[in-house]
Amino acid sequence: MVDEIDRILLSQLGKNSRTSSYEMSRYLQEMGYKITDRTVRYRLKKLEKSNIILAYSLLLNPALLSEKINRTILLKFKFRADTSVMISRLEKYCGESYFCVYSARMTGDFDWICHFVFDSIEQYEFESSNFLNRFIDLIDDFRSYESNMVKVTPYTLFDDHEIRDQKWRAYRVLNSLKKYHNLNEKLQFIVESLIKHFGAKFARIWLLDRERKNLILKFSAGKYKNINGEFSKVPADSNKIGNIVLTRKPTVTNDVVNDKRIRHPEWAKKEKLQSFAGYPITHGNKVIGVLAMFSTRRMQAADFEVLGVFSDQISKELEGLFTAVDFLIPGGTKQ
């Protein structure tokens, strides 16, 4: 019913339903798909007409909901002849109530969970009383808990199994970092894991120098392990690596040989390189480095997601180091 491109579109919308068709077409083009903005819009319309996309959801900002009344409700059902009918009514009620942001069937001690967000304590008391009275014939027991919302994301029926499996492998690799106590060993292990488990021809980590003018190659694995070669120092305002620092955004291409941002296309052709992906490494609100990998195979969305997982972990590993520098040398990482 849906092809590979549709899956990528659904994945992008699941992360942010405001992603424009232009942004999605650019993302797909970087992945090597020949697709236009107009074609993306056509595909989305087709997904809507076929009822695969039923609606577009919101990403809510918990900080703006902090003054509202949040309640998580657990329900235990009475089971009798008309229980299934009553459950259908409960589903309809939760689906139509604007203050219900989440509801689902459970197994275990309770049968149903729902999360309500109210504007005031008065509304909470009124709606809660109305809710319990409405379903008194269904509810055998209930629990109500005050809760603080920290994250609200849209629910999507789309489940990219490939991304899930890739991330699971990535998390297993990251869990193995616990056996290393030295930061250098941890970061070297990450680039080596990209070679061993995720099909990279070679993978590298560059970190910005103190003047933030050059990216210094610190870790490398795969065919090119030497960190003192031509790309040992890369200007932060040039080529594909530097562009990641300037834009603060990840980048990917499945056409390395013909990508104008690649300095040596003949070398890429000789090495049979097909794809490149790079992710910014951050500290606070600043980019401090780049994690990148080249591969001889076409890179899928799942591979790109995995690189993001490793980039986030590198940022976390470096956070303690940079925090210490900030503490010992005021302004040390702000140059």
User: Position of tokens 């890179």?
Assistant: 299
User: Position of tokens 């019913």?
Assistant: 1
| 3-state class (DSSP) for residue 112 | strand
Q: Are residues 140 and 175 in the same domain?
A: no
pLDDT of residue 296: 92
Judge whether 118 and 65 are in contact, CB under 8 Å: no
Judge whether 115 and 71 are in contact, CB under 8 Å: yes
Q: CATH number of the domain that 132 lies in?
A: 3.30.70.920
Residue 316 has pLDDT above 90, yes or no: no
* Residue 333 within a domain: no
Q: Are residues 190 and 298 in the same domain?
A: yes
pTM: 0.56
Name 275's Cβ contacts closer than 8 Å, sequence gap at least 6: 32, 252, 253, 254, 256, 294, 295, 297, 298, 299, 303
* Residue 27 within a domain: yes
Indicate the average pLDDT of the chain. 83
Q: Are residues 271 and 299 in the same domain?
A: yes
pLDDT tens sequence across 206-217? 999 888 889 999
Share of the chain above pLDDT 90, in %: 31
pLDDT of residue 161: 59
Of 104, 98, 49, which is closest to residue 74 (Cα–Cα)? 104
What's the domain range around 122? 62-146
pLDDT of residue 168: 75
Q: How many domains does the chain have?
A: 3
Residue 321 has pLDDT above 70, yes or no: no
* Residue 55 within a domain: no
Q: Are residues 11 and 100 in the same domain?
A: no
pLDDT mean over 49-54? 89
> For 147-296, where are the alpha helices, taking DSSP H only?
161-175, 183-198, 239-247, 265-270
Of 167, 189, 169, which is closest to residue 179 (Cα–Cα)? 189
pLDDT of residue 150: 60
* Residue 108 within a domain: yes
Q: CATH number of the domain that 278 lies in?
A: 3.30.450.40
* Residue 155 within a domain: no
Angle at 269 between CA 266 and CA 272, to 5 degrees: 155
Q: Are residues 216 and 299 in the same domain?
A: yes
pLDDT of residue 199: 84
Higher pLDDT, residue 138 or 118 = 138
Distance of CA 284 to the CA centre of its chain: 18
**Which residues are 60's β-sheet partners?**
152
Residue-by-residue DSSP string for 120-138: SHHHHHHHHHHHHHHTTTT
pLDDT of residue 149: 62
Of 118, 114, 119, 108, which is closest to residue 91 (Cα–Cα)? 114
| Most confident of the ranges 72-76, 168-172, 260-264 | 72-76
Q: Are residues 66 and 212 in the same domain?
A: no
Residue 104: φ, ψ to 5°: -165, 155
pLDDT of residue 152: 57
